[in-house]
Structure 1
Amino acid sequence: MADLPPPVYLLILGDHLPDPRTGRVITEEKRLRAVVRQAVVAEESGFTGVAIGEHHFIRYIVSAPELVLSAIAVQTSTLRLSTGVTLLAHRDPVLVAEELATLDVLSGGRAELIVARGISQETDAAFGIPPAELRPRFDEHLRLLLLLLEKPEVSWSGRFRVPLEGVTTTPRPVQEPRPPVWIGSGSAVSADLAAELGLPLVLPSTLRDPATHVEIVERYRSRIRGSDGRVALPSHVFVATDAAAARTRWRPHLATYAAFANEWRGDGTELDMDTLMDGPAVCGDPAEVAGRLNQLADLLGLDAHLVIVDIGGLPQPDVLAAIRLFGAEVLPQLRSGVR
């Protein structure tokens, strides 16, 4: 019996950038509706789930991913519904627990969460979080969140919010002991926290050379207790029936997005489209895309993929066509990484 392909999520960060070919920017309403439609097509195409990013005050369109996921839940029946990510240091973990459980109940047990500290110092400042508080606040919020999701009655005290005494968040989640919670990060601190808490790890989506994550993955797997852990990697992907046509079509959109997101890459290297397309950005025909993703799976021992298609003002018909082709011809060729 053939091995089943690994879980594959459609990751939608929702940049709201102009189409570089036309200069046009669609309305916010159309952009958000496009995100919902992409998730519906992802389910039809065999994807495991969708993950919707949270951003504030910059040119990403989604600030409340749970609301977008609720809209997607109504139009789907099997798709896993995840944030990608929830900025947990900036949120009250009580409200996050309630929102996640509500989504879990309404979707029949399909909710998930990827939590992270975030990468925008401007966002931190706008939410009143000093740099020195970001990591301890995230750590405290995560531990409280897990407690609230797992326990029907919680008494707790900490540093960054008022104490709780005999609190029961409602509704209670459908999934037991709780919905899946992943930590998203490429830092040693967060990898160690994920290992300590027995949580799966999602690597960054910042167009960096995937080989830079090897040391963090090895560190995480060497420390996680009671399990071999799970690791997922976001990859920017575009697939078409002809490899050369795929690169030509996607290149200006990748360039537009990479220039926009370059300040968050954090590796100090200059942007080069050929280097990106040979590394963190996977582009080509179905065989090439599947082969590249399997190479990344082997490099990092991946258990799951997060696929980012919709970037840089790429028109919706091209996004949907790539999702459908990925589901039909790439997904069956994927495998988990060799450890």
Structure 2
Amino acid sequence: MKFLAITLIVHAPDPVTGVLKPTHDRFREVIDNAVFAEEIGFDGFGVGERHERPFISSSPPVVLSHIAALTSRIRLFTAVTTLSLLDPVRAYEDYATLDHLSDGRLDLIIGKGNGTAQRELFQVTPEDQWERNAESYELFRRIWRQDKVTAEPRFRPELTAAEVWPRPYQQPVRVWHGSATSRESVDLAARYGDPLFSANVTNPIEPYAELVRYYRERWTHYGHDSAQAVVGAGTAGYYAARTSQEAIASYRPVFEGQLAFQKRLGLEPVFTTLEDFVERSSALIGSPQQVIDKVHRYHEQFGHSVLHLQADASGLGDARHRASLELFQSDIAPVLRRDIPDPPFPWAPVLAAPRPVDF
């Protein structure tokens, strides 16, 4: 099993202290967390993309490029690239450049994205967002693989023998499809033989497990080898301590602060008590053995081989959060790596063969 640390770069008051860090400090925190994740043995680090409050993750290629310059091994993920909002030509240019700067350590997780404010910012409607997502991905995919592209897309100007530079370092880049609530993204992933990443954050396991089953059904429907279907899954929270009592006591103020923040935003919480959150959500809160057991329970439903944890302290405080991540790497990850297989593809980059260029 492989493990990612992921941040959506939420810029909001600390759920426990109420302190709002300056924007500059919040970005520095993200960079420091990525370097730390590599140091303690995480396989990947992901940066989200949002274009609305309370997020400042509007430019993941820039953030990931900076992380690439400070790291050498960890794979760099987008979580997610909102292709329904983006020009796929411009998105390709950004990510092909990042692919080179990172020496081929880039993985993309794509999705349509959520949120009314960011849809309105880019003039995307609920009626056309899925078509935009599929069209943008199909064009992005062609540009990555072909030196010249001719296409008549619906949502951007047509291309005629268009050359888009730079040509990529990896051939091809691995693209995961982020899945939260809809079958459209699941079907798109299965159609192209791409891995799926289940959000697995907001609700109990059932709706996510149903989508994963649908993905595997569509995978075989499109003629792919069932053994090659790959699923990743998120977690709603993480904190491990030597005893379950210590973990629960330490996490309770964090949960209560997050609950209050959701209510201020006018959101209806799915889990109204910490005990329910620990029991029915995907959050991994408890002793190392409890975390291991819960990942195994989810694996029985998902068959996933990649797992993400939150990179941000989010109320725990940096020292406590980092100690918990170190505990994950020392006591939890080795067991899960032993028990659950890795994805059936190489984690190292697949590099493009040199090609002649006509000038």
TM-score, scaled relative to structure 1: 0.91
Q: Please tell me the residue identity of whatever aligns with 1:184.
A: G
Instruction: State the shift of 1:18 in Å.
Output: 2.0
Instruction: State the shift of 1:296 in Å.
Output: 1.2
Instruction: State the shift of 1:315 in Å.
Output: 2.3
- 1:129 corresponds to which residue? 124
Alignment partners' CA distance in 2, 1:222 and 1:78? 35
Per mean C-alpha deviation after superposition, the further-off stretch among 207-216 and 316-325 is 316-325
Instruction: State the shift of 1:243 in Å.
Output: 2.4
Alignment partners' CA distance in 2, 1:312 and 1:116? 24
Change (3 A) 1:134 1:189: same
Counterpart of 1:307 in 2: which secondary structure? strand
- Identity %, equivalent residues: 31
2:27 to 23, 28, 32: 32
- 1:271 corresponds to which residue? 272
Alignment partners' CA distance in 2, 1:240 and 1:202? 27
- 1:214-248 deviation line (CA, Å, top 9, x unaligned): 21111110111323311111012112233222222
Alignment partners' CA distance in 1, 2:141 and 2:262? 31
Alignment partners' CA distance in 2, 1:290 and 1:239? 10
- 1:32-91 deviation line (CA, Å, top 9, x unaligned): 111111111111111110111111221123211111111111111110001101111111
Change (3 A) 1:67 1:205: farther
1:301 to 298, 303, 313: 303
Change (3 A) 1:257 1:85: farther
- 2:340 corresponds to which residue? 336
Instruction: State the shift of 1:171 in Å.
Output: 1.5
Per mean C-alpha deviation after superposition, the further-off stretch among 200-209 and 72-81 is 200-209
Structure 1 gap segments, 5+ residues each = 1-5
- What's the Cα RMSD here? 2.3
5 Å matches for 1:15-30? Answer: 15-30=10-25
2:289 to 287, 290, 293: 287
Contact 1:19 1:314 (8 Å CA) reproduced: no
Change (3 A) 1:207 1:127: same
Alignment partners' CA distance in 1, 2:113 and 2:341? 27
Counterpart of 2:272 in 1: which secondary structure? coil
- 2:50 corresponds to which residue? 55
- 2:345 corresponds to which residue? none
Instruction: Give the number of aligned pairs.
Output: 332
1:324 aligns with 2:304: no
Alignment partners' CA distance in 1, 2:332 and 2:214? 30
5 Å matches for 1:1-339? Answer: 6-176=1-171, 178-186=172-180, 187-224=182-219, 225-228=223-226, 229-235=229-235, 236-260=237-261, 269=270, 271-278=272-279, 279-310=281-312, 312-334=314-336, 335-336=339-340
Counterpart of 1:17 in 2: which secondary structure? coil
Contact 2:196 2:231 (8 Å CA) reproduced: yes
Alignment partners' CA distance in 1, 2:259 and 2:149? 44
Per mean C-alpha deviation after superposition, the further-off stretch among 20-29 and 250-259 is 250-259
- 1:201-220 deviation line (CA, Å, top 9, x unaligned): 11125331123212111111
Change (3 A) 1:299 1:158: same
Contact 1:15 1:311 (8 Å CA) reproduced: no
TM-score, scaled relative to structure 2: 0.86
Q: Please tell me the residue identity of whatever aligns with 2:319.
A: P
- 1:129-158 deviation line (CA, Å, top 9, x unaligned): 121111111110010011111112111111
Q: Please tell me the residue identity of whatever aligns with 1:53.
A: G
Instruction: State the shift of 1:267 in Å.
Output: 9.1
